[in-house]
Structure 1
Amino acid sequence: MPSESRTGRTQPARAPRRALLTAGLGAAALLATPARAQGGPELRWRLSSAYAKSLDILFGAPEAMARIVAEATDGRFQIQVQGPGDPVPADGLLDAVAGGTVEMGHGPASLATAKDPTFALATAIPFGLNARGGAAWWYAGGAAELFAEIFAKVGLVCLPGGNTGAQMGGWFRKEIKTLADLQGLKFRIGGLGGQVLAKFGVQPQAIPGPEIYAALETKKIDAAEWIGPYDDERLGLQKVAPIYHYPGFWEGGAMLHFWINAGAWKALPKPYQALLRAAAAQVGAEVQAKYDARNPQALRRLVAGGAQLRPFPQEVMEAALKNANDVYAEIAAKNADFRRVYEAMRTFRNEEYLWFQVAEYTYDNFMIRARARG
């Protein structure tokens, strides 16, 4: 998951309905909360985002959270939103929240993958859950309870705060046609995705988002992944790396979270806790809905501007899946928390795709073909 320091498409027809349902539930909770919350204490919290203001959907999520909380409490609970490096760098976000430098943060748990790969499971891993499956696992499949225990160990409370949907595979100066084309490729990617690709001989590169264009233009790197059409369009990468591969199998549905210092959360009055939960649910639904609504037209503009859409070859996808399973087995052998959470995710993922195969995939496949026929 890209951020300013490291650093989709699932089923777009369903996303708005899902967003409306979740937002409706959040709104209902909010309507019941303000009467009590308005009598609560006056609080001034700081929230650090992992994303620059130029990423308006992602940076806009905590801004919306702050606005809802302030309105619901008649201004008694104020949350000041800050960008990365002000004063918290994105890759230090979770540590800063846990340590009390700021009370809240917003960004992917995968920022802490190097510290503990278990954290990546809360965001996305190669060949993990899509956005809808991730939400089902979190809210109804036991993931919330698993991760509450994991994050409590490091002094954090987390609330889901949006999903990008399936991301794109990134921008390449040359098309990937065979596995041999990956050998020696300098690819801007990190985390578990980088570990999986490294088994092909790819050389993962850590390059901040604003520096991607220059790195591709000067041939410092051969390819780079970012997010998806709406956010990628701003970088203009089609001018220097026109091959736009898909899908980003390392992030089939990247879940973001609002991070809260455990001590600060415990000290909150119950109405304020309920308000934060409801606001996070509403804002999270809006993030997914905005990407689903804005990515199609952005993709059209990118193609018109020179982007060449190319799917990853089947042999690359199959080999990457094998590599991913090998990486997970290696990590699980050394990390009991990862093993426990990964097994739970894998079991849930397999059941979800049983259902998706019967109804969801059949319906979507028909509609996609119908669209192609005009």
Structure 2
Amino acid sequence: MQRRSFLKKAGFGAMAGSAAVAVPAFAQSSPKINWKMASSFTAAQPALFGSAQVFCKMVEEASGGDFSIRAYPAGELAPALGVMDAVGNKTVECGQTASYYYYDQNPAFCFDTAVPFGLNARQMNAWMLEGGGMKLTREMFAPRHIINFPMGNTGTQMGGWYRKEIHAVADLKGLKMRTAGLAGEVLSRLGVVPRQIATGDIYSSFENGTLDAAEFVGPLDDEKLGLNKVAKYYYYPGWWEGCAQLSLYVNDGAYNGLPKPYQALIEAASRYAGVQLLANYDANNPAALRRLVAKGAVLKAFPREVMDASYTAANAVYAELSAKNPLFKKLYESYMGFRDNVVPWFRVAEGSFNNYMSIVLASRQK
């Protein structure tokens, strides 16, 4: 969808019209405002950080330059894992991040991004916008002085890179793996030793023996990190991330001080940037995967034994967290209730269609 068409449908038809008429009209009634955005991602992650830039560009263009937001890569305004604090403290007005990075502060935050055996990208969007997810996550972040907006999704991720094959659960015992959050907690129940490693250090951690395996995102991002050069086996699916939603955090005081048109523009621009990010991954992951395989990566599916053991471990973790964390329980019941309701529908319609198309296309390629 073109930006002009999106603006019209988002209620910004005047801004999408001729610049000679629309922009001056907007400028006459709105002040010039400059914000800074701290991102959890680096400029070396063009899809992820690029999504923040798409958002900022749309805000500036749609406001005729009156509302300007500049995105800064991780480390420039705030550490990669410090965006929540930076926005909450109003060190910056807004930030781009993934809420599960703050698992240690409260595991309930993971429901704003991804949890093991959870929703896929479309289902997550449906839960947030039509299933009560937005209301619940807004309530969750309110004490942090943060207003959250969904701003993109990676889609279902891969299961990571491994230096040895995984035939059974026993092969996971003692495996030093780059992962964190709820995924790390679940995998630790299967014998994995979770390691929190910064993105830029994953490659060298394989080289120096700190890691035996690592999960990041998927083909597009993994190829840029060169992970195929340090680990041969590329497993799927990433059951801990049926999707991974990124979030725009806005300081509540800064947001409430904006004119209403600017507030509406933030919501419209965040949704536009979100659509663009998922399209980027869906369009570019296939070619990246083919390149990785051509370079020697070996695609492997996790054995059913591993999947079943992981599912059982995940449910045990959920039960324990729900018993001691009322906020987690509240989010869990809504999120998983939505999952259990929507997955059968997806199986009937899209699942059957996708399975048939996979069979047909596979037979054509023989």
Q: TM-score, normalised by structure 1?
A: 0.92
Task: Find 1:337's aligned residue among 324, 327, 334.
Answer: 327
Aligned partners of 1:109 and 1:257 also within 8 Å: yes
The amino acid that maps onto 2:326 is: A
How do residues 204-243 of structure 1 correspond to structure 2 at under 5 angstroms? 204-243=194-233
Give the 3-state SS of the residue equivalent to 1:85 in structure 2.
coil
Q: 1:161 to 1:62 in 2, by over 3 A?
A: same
Structure 2 unaligned blocks of 5 or more = 16-21
Whether 1:186 aligns to 2:176 is: yes
Whether 1:133 aligns to 2:123 is: yes
1:108 matched residue in structure 2: 98
Aligned partners of 1:118 and 1:341 also within 8 Å: yes
Whether 1:352 aligns to 2:342 is: yes
Q: 1:57 to 1:37 in 2, by over 3 A?
A: farther
Distance 2:56 2:225 in 1: 28
Task: Find 1:31's aligned residue among 12, 33, 41.
Answer: 12
CA RMSD of aligned residues (A): 1.5
Q: 1:66 to 1:125 in 2, by over 3 A?
A: same
Q: 1:276 to 1:242 in 2, by over 3 A?
A: same
The amino acid that maps onto 1:238 is: N
TM-superposed deviation, 1:31: 3.0
Q: 1:250 to 1:22 in 2, by over 3 A?
A: farther
Q: 1:369 to 1:22 in 2, by over 3 A?
A: farther
Give the 3-state SS of the residue equivalent to 1:294 in structure 2.
helix
Distance 1:33 1:145 in 2: 30
How do residues 1-374 of structure 1 correspond to structure 2 at under 5 angstroms? 20=1, 27-29=8-10, 31-32=12-13, 34=15, 35=22, 37-38=26-27, 39-374=29-364
Distance 1:24 1:316 in 2: 46
Per-residue Cα deviation, 1:208-231 (whole angstroms, up to 9, x for no partner): 111111111222211011110000
TM-superposed deviation, 1:26: 5.4
Aligned partners of 2:107 and 2:328 also within 8 Å: yes
Give the 3-state SS of the residue equivalent to 1:90 in structure 2.
coil
Q: 1:24 to 1:307 in 2, by over 3 A?
A: farther
Aligned partners of 1:229 and 1:299 also within 8 Å: yes
1:14 matched residue in structure 2: none
TM-superposed deviation, 1:103: 0.3
The amino acid that maps onto 1:111 is: Y
Distance 2:216 2:272 in 1: 25
Q: 1:345 to 1:21 in 2, by over 3 A?
A: farther
The amino acid that maps onto 1:32 is: G
Distance 1:42 1:249 in 2: 45
TM-superposed deviation, 1:66: 1.1
Give the 3-state SS of the residue equivalent to 2:262 in structure 1.
helix
Distance 1:183 1:273 in 2: 50
Q: 1:121 to 1:46 in 2, by over 3 A?
A: same
Distance 2:157 2:235 in 1: 10
TM-superposed deviation, 1:80: 1.2
TM-superposed deviation, 1:238: 1.4
Distance 1:66 1:119 in 2: 25
Aligned partners of 1:125 and 1:192 also within 8 Å: yes
Q: TM-score, normalised by structure 2?
A: 0.94
Q: 1:24 to 1:367 in 2, by over 3 A?
A: farther
Q: 1:77 to 1:21 in 2, by over 3 A?
A: closer
Whose RCO is larger (CA < 8 A, sep 6+)?
1
The amino acid that maps onto 1:61 is: S
Deviates more, 1:210-219 or 1:57-66: 210-219
Structure 1 unaligned blocks of 5 or more = 1-19
Q: 1:276 to 1:307 in 2, by over 3 A?
A: same
Deviates more, 1:62-71 or 1:28-37: 28-37
TM-superposed deviation, 1:87: 2.0
* Percent of aligned pairs sharing the same letter: 45
Give the 3-state SS of the residue equivalent to 1:44 in structure 2.
strand
The amino acid that maps onto 1:281 is: R
Aligned partners of 1:37 and 1:271 also within 8 Å: no
Per-residue Cα deviation, 1:249-280 (whole angstroms, up to 9, x for no partner): 11110001111001001111110011111111
Aligned partners of 1:23 and 1:286 also within 8 Å: no
The structure with the larger Rg is 2
Per-residue Cα deviation, 1:104-135 (whole angstroms, up to 9, x for no partner): 10111111111011100110000010111000
Distance 1:357 1:212 in 2: 36
Distance 2:4 2:205 in 1: 40
Aligned partners of 1:33 and 1:274 also within 8 Å: no
Aligned partners of 1:30 and 1:72 also within 8 Å: no
